[in-house]
Structure 1
């Protein structure tokens, strides 16, 4: 519950600083968590990156200020962090569908982007089976993709990533699994995002193994970490629902935050485990 209060305090800070520099370390401080944790939690709960949210809020407010014909476009552009009228016009056109000059028309339709607020909603009825485990280092081998994400749209998509691995390679990777988490694993790591609203991360599809001969596959060395491990029975729909509940219900209710480390989905025999790296 305190985490959600902190998230909303951070949003209040962002709101009053839309026309000035927004210090992301200060944002995270008001949310009582690390900058990494805030960005990941914000992205998962809202469906967009933090930088994209800030960009949309600034462009929405800029559109309102353009109604005042006494204010110059260049002044509004500079006020909301754009270095030139051209850069502001391109961003404005991409978001609202019209240029700033046309937006001065009071009858012109423009996009709204309301201020967000977060609430803790417990869905109830469905228990979450989890355990907290401290594990030493281990190794993931598999196929590596560098993924770009804009507004939660992935490039390449997971479907494309899976389709790019032959059935033979999939079986070969599964056969390498000899250490927990067992089975085929999907590992997301090295998440970053920029102020243009684009996030990137590395995606590995493979297995956890102690075998040295990796047959040319990419290798990811995972350091010692504390893990929250959640058991999931069911298909991909149940996995997605569980993942959402981890971020929206479990994390805000417990005294842990995300560590800057991997997120793992392991699947074997129609059962799955979600591994989230955490810290106190």
Structure 2
């Protein structure tokens, strides 16, 4: 997996001039655009777009400082539609205008090319189990979002807040005997950076769920890696995903199966230190 991500980084450097094609980068990493962007963010803490922007502006600053290139030419070279947009982005990173980069003694920031290294930390156990499960139906409400520029991180958080406020989560909890709700990432076919995120429950009674206006979706049969998460939300679940993608996948003989993945939430106090939740990831043996 890390070797495949390195191939994508190599291609990104070659394609740094102009606009980057997420689908081309994902193909180089042998992943869907969704999983490539998600894996990249989990491992680096930044989106592909953020990384590319910092690298472009690093290279642009080097060119402006070392040569007599025109600002407008450098802006167009690195994919900016106008000198004004380029100048705004440049000042945000470097703290000065592009034209000031040529001045002797100008201080510029350099964002180096990223590299991936496997680190087996071993400071915390990861409790998980492997289960096979037949296909099942879920009921809930959905949001279409995208991984591009971290848009999903902002929109999903707001979606949960809205669904708690308008009573949707409470209605879903009452549709099941155990009160368990799910946060489900439903990937698109063909794969893209867009996906549907559902706040849902297991559809034990599809007719009742439909009467209340909920969507019904199918989750296909799969082999699941199920991780037990202990701690308050949302921090514990976010840390869990980070560890799964940055530590567990690189260190095991499994890869993501490409299907839906979901978070499982129990109806107790989600702010408690001992709150228990789960992350379900569909997997394949390499």
- 2:101 and 2:108 in contact (8 A); partners too: yes
RMSD: 3.4
Q: TM-score, normalised by structure 2?
A: 0.76
Aligned twin of 2:176:
177
Aligned twin of 2:71:
73
- 2:34 and 2:187 in contact (8 A); partners too: no
> Structure 1 residues 63 and 132, CA, compared in 2 at 3 Å: closer, same or farther?
same
Aligned twin of 2:121:
123
- 1:231 and 1:273 in contact (8 A); partners too: yes
Partner SS state of residue 210, structure 1: coil
Query: Can you list the C-alpha shifts for 1:6-50, whole angstroms capped at 9, x where unaligned?
Result: 323432332244236756556445545444432221011112221
Partner SS state of residue 154, structure 1: helix
> Structure 1 residues 17 and 134, CA, compared in 2 at 3 Å: closer, same or farther?
same
> Structure 1 residues 156 and 176, CA, compared in 2 at 3 Å: closer, same or farther?
same
Give the gaps of 5 or more residues in structure 1.
193-198
> Structure 1 residues 8 and 167, CA, compared in 2 at 3 Å: closer, same or farther?
same
Q: TM-score, normalised by structure 1?
A: 0.77
Give the gaps of 5 or more residues in structure 2.
269-274
1:247-258 equivalence runs, <5 A: 247-258=245-256
**1:271 Cα offset (Å):** 2.7
> Structure 1 residues 97 and 146, CA, compared in 2 at 3 Å: closer, same or farther?
farther
- How far, CA to CA, are the matches of 2:140 and 2:115 in structure 1? 39
Alignment: residue pair count: 270
Query: Can you list the C-alpha shifts for 1:80-124, whole angstroms capped at 9, x where unaligned?
Result: 233544453444345445442233334444443221112222221
Aligned twin of 1:275:
280
Q: Which has the higher strand share?
A: 1
Partner SS state of residue 56, structure 1: helix
- 1:189 and 1:201 in contact (8 A); partners too: yes
- How far, CA to CA, are the matches of 1:148 and 1:108 in structure 2? 38
Q: Which has the higher helix share?
A: 2
